[in-house]
Amino acid sequence: MSTVFDEQPDLGDPDLANMDLEDRHALRRVAGLSTELQDISEVEYRALRLERVVLIGVWAEGSLASAENSLRELRRLAETAGSEVLDGLIQRRSRVDAATYVGSGKARELADIVAAAGADTVICDGELTPSQLRRLESVVQVKVIDRTALILDIFAQHARSREGKAQVELAQLQYMLPRLRGWGESLSRQAGGRVAGGGGIGTRGPGETKIETDRRRLRARISRLQKDISGMSTGRRVQRGQRRRRDVPSVVIAGYTNAGKSSLLNALTGAGVLVEDALFATLDPAVRRAETPSGRAYTLTDTVGFVRHLPHQLVDAFRSTLEETAEADLILHVVDGSDAEPEAQIAAVRGVLAEIGAGQVRELVVVNKTDSADPVALQGLRAREPGSLSISAQTGAGLAALRDAIEAVLPRLDVQVKVTVPYSRGDLVARAHAEGEVLTAEHSADGTLLEARVPPGLAAQLDAALDDCVQVQA
């Protein structure tokens, strides 16, 4: 069996030529998978240092190039979490093995590779069932992590706000609950009178085991977190309601992780938010004020990045945060033009947008990183996504056209007024500049003659000031 992916086998060897083709390519190494990391905590009650890992994926559908790109993305996820990737392998199968993910025979071969490399962890490119984790772990004799657990850990490391930390913890606990287990029989023994260091009466049922006690505690913690997150989302709903009453349009930046969403926010608004060449660098949404070329104000929101096979626990936990996307007037769908498979990124993002109820929001595809992308690939992507714009948030190329496009698609303010505002009501003039589109502003002895398109609410306030000004409808 050939396991070195970057070495071409000698097909002239009669013994090798007689090998079954599917078996020959059943487990293939993917070149270029090496990195450095720090610590990661597993989804159980025991900490694990993910320092030396081997990646394993199953190529069950699509092309080999797509499977390799998925494993390279898993490498970047492992790097973001803190691991040193020693090897990466892919097995060709018609479907994932229900018992050990890669099949019992290949699991034993994987165990030999793990032992030879000196790895302490195997990371699988997919979400494994509790039984698959347990059985594969028993064969390879090291800890087994799946893609979902890895993404959850990265989110836990990057969460900064109180709400973000609560959302990540909720997702982790929901993932952990069906997978809770311990070393040997430690969690299968019946609890004594003082359960888990002092629980005692009320922490156990008749004959309740320690794992049952822990599961009940997890459910109680999940319930508490859900209530806390619901309460924390109230403030954001109030702010959105205030913007709606003022008819301030809302634009949301969405897209694949590390596509350059935060860089675009900084380029359009000068927000100064964190920009890092890492997956999931942004977890907490940032809302900033922006203006169209004509001076019309709107809000621009940077959101958490998406990824292929984004854990459904995270989508559920972050649903309150993602409501901003579903209620937006426009979604700037940022795509990494330098990625090997930008179409796969687009499909993954649109899948998540549909899941959170934002599939019907108007979308403008923005292909970023054109300064480092292949021109031929960019041309093909533009042909497949008509109406898309190509930019570079780093160099500023294409940003002027993007600003014009945003102004063209934002909902128009339908109230146009021409009013003389007394100098004592300078606050109304300031609001017209901030919330509307000022066409002309002239100063006279009676006040500021203002012609503008303004939100209906502000127009009503101007109309109510008839005692102090003369209003002429345009």
Q: How confident is the model over 217-238, as pLDDT tens digits?
A: 889 999 998 888 888 766 666 6
| Beta carbons within 8 Å of 446's beta carbon, 6+ residues apart | 420, 422, 469, 470
Range 189-205 average pLDDT: 47
| Whole-angstrom distance, CA of residue 110 vs CA of residue 404 | 54
Buried b (16+ CB within 10 A) or exposed e, 20-37: eeeeebbbbbbeebebeb
At residue 262 the predicted structure's pLDDT band, cuts being 50, 70 and 90, is confident
User: Most confidently modeled of 132-141, 201-210, 211-220, 289-298?
Assistant: 132-141
Model pLDDT, residue 181: 63
Range 200-223 average pLDDT: 71
Model pLDDT, residue 324: 75
Mean per-residue pLDDT of the chain: 76
Strand-by-strand arrangement of the 415-421 sheet: 437-443, 448-454, 415-421, 471-473
Max CA separation in the chain (angstroms): 100
The SS3 call for residue 232 is helix
Query: How far is C-alpha 335 from the chain's CA centre?
Result: 13
Range 75-88 average pLDDT: 85
The residue count for the chain: 474
Q: What share of the chain is helix, strand, coil (3-state, %, to 5)?
A: 40, 20, 40
Q: Any idea which of 27-36, 211-220, 251-260, 363-372 has the lowest mean pLDDT?
A: 27-36
Residue range 389-404, pLDDT digits in tens: 999 988 999 999 999 9
Residue range 283-324, pLDDT digits in tens: 667 788 888 888 878 888 888 788 887 777 777 777 766 777
**pTM score of the predicted model:** 0.68
- In terms of pLDDT, which residue wins out, 470 or 221? 221
Model pLDDT, residue 398: 92
Q: Any idea which of 37-41, 209-213, 306-310, 336-340 has the lowest mean pLDDT?
A: 37-41
Model pLDDT, residue 423: 84
Range 250-269 average pLDDT: 88
Model pLDDT, residue 42: 36
Tokens of 422: 């007394």
Residue type for position 167: Q
Residue range 22-33, pLDDT digits in tens: 454 455 545 445
| Whole-angstrom distance, CA of residue 456 vs CA of residue 412 | 12
| Whole-angstrom distance, CA of residue 241 vs CA of residue 327 | 11
Model pLDDT, residue 28: 52
Contact between 456 and 415 under an 8 Å Cβ cutoff? The reply is yes
Model pLDDT, residue 400: 92
Q: Any idea which of 220-234, 269-283, 443-457 has the lowest mean pLDDT?
A: 269-283
Residue 277 has pLDDT above 60, yes or no: no
Range 194-215 average pLDDT: 57
Residue range 109-119, pLDDT digits in tens: 899 989 988 88
- DSSP single-letter state for residue 470: -
Model pLDDT, residue 197: 47
Say which residue the tokens 């938010």 belong to.
273
Query: How far is C-alpha 152 from the chain's CA centre?
Result: 11
Model pLDDT, residue 37: 33
Helix axes 162-176, 319-326, angle to 10 degrees: 120
Model pLDDT, residue 368: 93
Range 101-114 average pLDDT: 88
Q: Angle at Cα 373 formed by Cα 370 and Cα 375, nearest 5°?
A: 90
Residue range 49-60, pLDDT digits in tens: 446 889 998 888
Helix axes 456-463, 426-435, angle to 10 degrees: 160
Residue 356 has pLDDT above 90, yes or no: no
- H/E segment holding residue 77: helix 64-81
Say which residue the tokens 């589109």 belong to.
437
Range 450-467 average pLDDT: 75
| Whole-angstrom distance, CA of residue 70 vs CA of residue 52 | 20
Residue 367 has pLDDT above 60, yes or no: yes
Burial of 305 (0-12, 13-18, 19+ CB in 10 A): buried
Residue range 148-167, pLDDT digits in tens: 888 888 888 877 778 878 88
Model pLDDT, residue 406: 92
| Whole-angstrom distance, CA of residue 9 vs CA of residue 57 | 22
| Whole-angstrom distance, CA of residue 385 vs CA of residue 432 | 37
- DSSP single-letter state for residue 48: B
At residue 68 the predicted structure's pLDDT band, cuts being 50, 70 and 90, is confident
Contact between 33 and 87 under an 8 Å Cβ cutoff? The reply is yes
